[in-house]
Amino acid sequence: MKMIVGLGNPGAKYTGTKHNIGFITMDELAFQEGLTFNKSKFEAVYAEAFIGTEKVILVKPQTFMNDSGRSVRPLMDYFNLGIDDLVVVYDDLDLPTGKIRLRQKGSAGGHNGIKSLIQHLGTSEFNRIRIGIDRPVKGQTVINHVLSNFPKEVHEEMLFAVKDSAKAIRYWVKGHTFLETMNEFNKKA
C-alpha cells in the first residue's frame, strides 16, 4: 500500500492558489482514476484505489498547511505504512513554474508544511515531489505570493507540472523504486 499526500489549505478561498499545488495534484490524480475524496479520518479527506495491483491512498490534510504532520502521522499509523510508502507533493519557491523535482530526503527549506511533517514523522527522510511556483515578484511578500492564484500566462506550465507529477506517482506505484522514479523524472526537469 502507498500513501500520496498533497499539501495545501482547506477551504474555497485557497482553491487554486500556488500553496495548494499538492491538493491540485491530488485532484488531478483522482480525476484520472475516477475517484472522489469521500472518506475522512484524522483531519484529512482521502480516496482509495488500486493503481495497477497497488492499493493507493490519496490524501489531502485538512489541518492547514502549517500543521500537516498532525494529520499524516496518525493516518500512516492507522494504515500501518512505513516511511518508504509515503510520497508528499508540495509547492517550491526555488523551482520555476512548470518544473518538478523529486527527492528522497532533505530539509524543510523554509516550507512550514514540510517542517510539520518532519516534526511529526520524526525524520526528514521521506519521498517528495516538489512542484515549482517560482519566487515572488519584486515587492511581493512570500505569503502573498503563495496564497495567490497562478497568473494566466503560467497556467499551462503549472498544469504540465501537475500532470508530470501524476505520471511520476503512477510510475512509482507500478513497481519502480523511488530512486528509479527520481532518475526517470528529474532528467526531464
Binding-site entries? 14, 64, 66, 112
Q: Give the Cα separation of 24 and 141 in Å (integer).
A: 23
Binding-site entries for tRNA? 14, 64, 66, 112
∠ CA 143-132-141, rounded to 5°: 20
Q: Which residues contact 83 (CB under 8 A, 6 or more apart)?
A: 76, 121, 123, 125, 126
Q: Coil, strand, or helix at residue 2?
A: strand
* C-beta separation of 126 from 81 below 8 A: no
Instruction: Give the DSSP H/E element, type plus range, for residue 160.
Output: helix 152-173
Q: Is 111 a catalytic residue?
A: no
User: In the block, which residue shows the cell 505504512?
Assistant: 81
Q: Coil, strand, or helix at residue 92?
A: strand
Catalytic one among 19, 111, 145, 176? 19
Active site residues: 19
